[in-house]
Amino acid sequence: MKKAAVIILSLISIALACTSAIISGSATIDGRPILWKHRDTGSMENKIVFVSESGYDFMGVANAIDTTNKEIWMGMNETGFSIMNTASYNINEGISCDLEDDQEGLFMRLALERCAGVDDFEQLLKDVSGKWGIDANFGVIDAQGNAAYFETGYYDYTKYDVNDPETAPNGYLIRTNFSVSGGESKGQGYIRYEATHRLFEKQNTLSVEFIIKEATRNMDHGVLKEHIGNMKLPRNKNDKILVAFQDYIVRYWSASVLVIQGVKHGEDPQKTMLWPIMGFPLTAMATPVFYASHDALPEVISSENGCIPFMAEASMTLKAELFPVQHDDHENYIDVAKLKNRKKTGVMQIMMKKEDEIIRRAKAIQATQKPEEIQEYYNWLDNYVRSVYRELLPPKPDKETLPGPELIGEEGICR
């Protein structure tokens, strides 16, 4: 029984591995702060939601199966307050507590409903101390230019101000699955932290495009210092070459990414922009959305009744081709030929090029964000994403093998 418990805990820790960063406006190319979370989880089907129920309205990422959007894993509200987290495995070391664990998703929804800024969030932490099962690094920004990590345990927290040059001399902070204020011998994600830190150090200024294109798809290993993208690539997508795939930023359990681009002090918080990747980051494209659009979201990354968004389902289908090993720890071996090759027919090579057009169109309307332009862009985006995957996905089975209408719904795919 004891051995089984150890195995279960090991699987949980593998699934709950995330990489994140907060970047102050002083370090970005346009002066706007950035909040980034690369989410690893056992809940692989994620969606973008807009919630207007109690307190402040907000937009964020939820599990597709969560029909009431009970847990929010990263998001922003109408005031411009934005939040995300990474699980910390060394913050509550040696502390016993009767509280239910892993309540971060519930707590972040509460924060989005109640907080108008970083100061409000800090007060919330004080008010609920000892009442929530939390062990996490919470990252927050607001429309006033404030930005901070709060390494939070059951009974206390430690704040790290990203605008403080002594705390963040380069204008940013990175967190994975350990807390700086926690025990030095525990925690996880040190290898991913090192790889991200090394990548950030090479940049003079940081941008949303850098986070999406390079940081969240970083194929550089923090310990081995080997970059998959720099190896001698296979001739074509059928020239199978398997490499070990462990402790990279992208992991088999990577389910989604959200980059929140805040506003400068004095700008309308409704101009905050979200840059989600709703699916496995190597087989899914960024699909920028505007908070000002509220519940009029693109169909390919949203869903109702627990169905799987199109982007999530399509990216997982392509992901399966990248991991052909069907035995042992299959998630640790990736076929580079299917990802990148000298013929440039790898799925990542094709998708990143297609993604450029999405980013270009989204940035073209970022300044004005007129409702009619946003809706026109969303309509184009839904059609464009489906057309890209139509070319990349394997042929569908015969009609008689497809599930009937009664199976498309609560646990089906959002068509």
Mean pLDDT of the chain: 90
Helix (H, G, I), strand (E, B) or coil at 254: strand
User: Does the pLDDT at position 144 exceed 90?
Assistant: yes
User: Does the pLDDT at position 412 exceed 60?
Assistant: no
Cα–Cα distance measured from residue 295 to residue 269, given in angstroms and rounded to the nearest whole number: 17
Average pLDDT of 212-220?
Answer: 95
Q: Are 117 and 147 in contact (CB under 8 A)?
A: no
290-300: per-residue pLDDT in tens?
Answer: 999 999 999 99
Q: Which residues on neighbouring strands pair with residue 147, listed in sequence order? A: 141
Cα–Cα distance measured from residue 392 to residue 314, given in angstroms and rounded to the nearest whole number: 9
Sheet with 19-23: strands ordered across = 172-175, 19-23, 34-40, 254-261, 273-277, 289-290
Torsion 164-168-170-174 (CA) sign: negative
Residues 6 or more apart whose CB falls under 8 angstroms from that of 166 comprise none
| Rg of the chain (C-alpha set) | 21
23-66: per-residue pLDDT in tens?
Answer: 999 999 999 999 999 999 999 999 999 999 989 999 999 999 99
Q: For position 398, what pLDDT does the model report? A: 56
Average pLDDT of 146-167?
Answer: 97
Rounded to two decimals, what is the model's pTM? 0.92
Token pair in block for residue 216: 């969240």
Q: Which residues on neighbouring strands pair with residue 40, listed in sequence order? A: 254
Kind and range of the H or E run holding 390:
helix 371-392
pLDDT confidence bin for 407, thresholds 50/70/90: very low
Average pLDDT of 57-82?
Answer: 97
Q: Which domains are present in the chain? A: 15-232+248-304 (3.60.60.10), 317-407 (no CATH)
pLDDT confidence bin for 406, thresholds 50/70/90: very low
Question: For residue 290, how many other CB atoms are within 10 A of its CB?
Answer: 23
Find tokens 């980059």 and name the residue: 259
Q: For position 357, what pLDDT does the model report? A: 98
316-362: per-residue pLDDT in tens?
Answer: 999 999 999 988 888 999 999 999 999 999 999 999 999 999 999 99
H helical segments located in 245-346? 310-322, 336-339
Q: For position 183, what pLDDT does the model report? A: 84
